[in-house]
Amino acid sequence: MKNTLNVRKDFEIYGSRLGRINFISKLDIKEKVILDVGCGYGWFLNYALSQGAKEIVGLEISDQDLHTARESIRDEKIFFKKGTAISIPYPDKYFDSVTAWEVIEHIPPKLELKMFEEVARVLKSGGVFYLSTPYKSFLSIVFDPAWWLVQHRHYSVEDLKRFGLDNNNFKVHDYKILGRIFSLLLNLNMYFSKWILKRDPIHKEFFRKMSSREYLEDKGYLTIMCKFIKI
């Protein structure tokens, strides 16, 4: 992930990140071999390390995208690899758990099933696959600048279930839809500050605090988080 704002260690757990760590079971982390697809700055790698993961791999599409994570996280249990969600450079049945936080909407269109096939290939039988992605609701779409500008994709519960079922490798174990008004405003603030002002978000800590409160609740309309189990 290109470090546009020159942030080095963006490991703070807030907003949707808080929702993700509350959603993922610690039993799927401790002593597990984990792949984080689209690891970005490495915040989840750092969290998984703190929860006793056996081995953690951060996957990004280029060395440039991995630069910040490599510089910020150095541990013998963490490895970094170049690869994509549809071409993972690991052998069959290598991982216990795979995560893909806000990734599926960025892969080339109509390759979602290919992503599920590739994740299933590298997962052990009974392994788990966690993902999060923008939820297909009226408000989440209308107030997403990236949807208007670059056709940023959003998904429904039915979409994600279908990818797993059509793949014949996964069943949905659980899902949650989280994030509301302050999380929406936080996203708009980040887009505006990054694209227009070229600076850190305005009143960042306030919006992060309010967004975090929303992601601790069991209701929302911005982000869907889903847990699949490999059949």
Which residues 6+ apart lie within 8 Å of 179 measured at CB?
15, 16, 19, 211, 214, 215, 220, 221, 222, 223
Measuring CA to CA, which residue among 160, 156, 172, 149 is closest to residue 228?
172
Q: Nearest Cα to 174, choosing from 25, 8, 4, 1?
A: 25
pLDDT tens-digit readout, 7-43: 445 788 999 999 999 999 999 999 999 999 999 999 9
Direct distance between the N- and C-terminal alpha carbons of the chain, in angstroms, rounded to an integer: 32
Q: Are strands 223-230 and 123-134 parallel, antiparallel or unpaired?
A: antiparallel
Q: Give me the domains of the chain, ranges plus CATH numbers.
A: 15-135+153-179+221-230 (3.40.50.150)
Confidence of residue 225 (pLDDT cuts 50, 70, 90): very high
CA 133/CA 136 separation, integer angstroms = 9
Contacts 24+ apart (CB under 8 A), 11-14: 11/41, 11/42, 11/43, 11/46, 11/47, 11/72, 12/43, 12/208, 13/43, 13/47, 14/208, 14/209, 14/211, 14/212
For the chain, the average pLDDT equals 93
Could you report the per-residue pLDDT of 202-220, keeping only the tens digit for each? 999 999 999 999 999 999 9
Torsion of CA 206, 211, 212, 215, to 10 degrees: 170
- Residue 84 pLDDT more than 50? yes
Query: What's the whole-model pTM score?
Result: 0.92
| pLDDT, tens digit, 9 for 90 and up, residues 106-122 | 999 999 999 999 999 99
Cβ contact 21:47 at 8 Å: yes
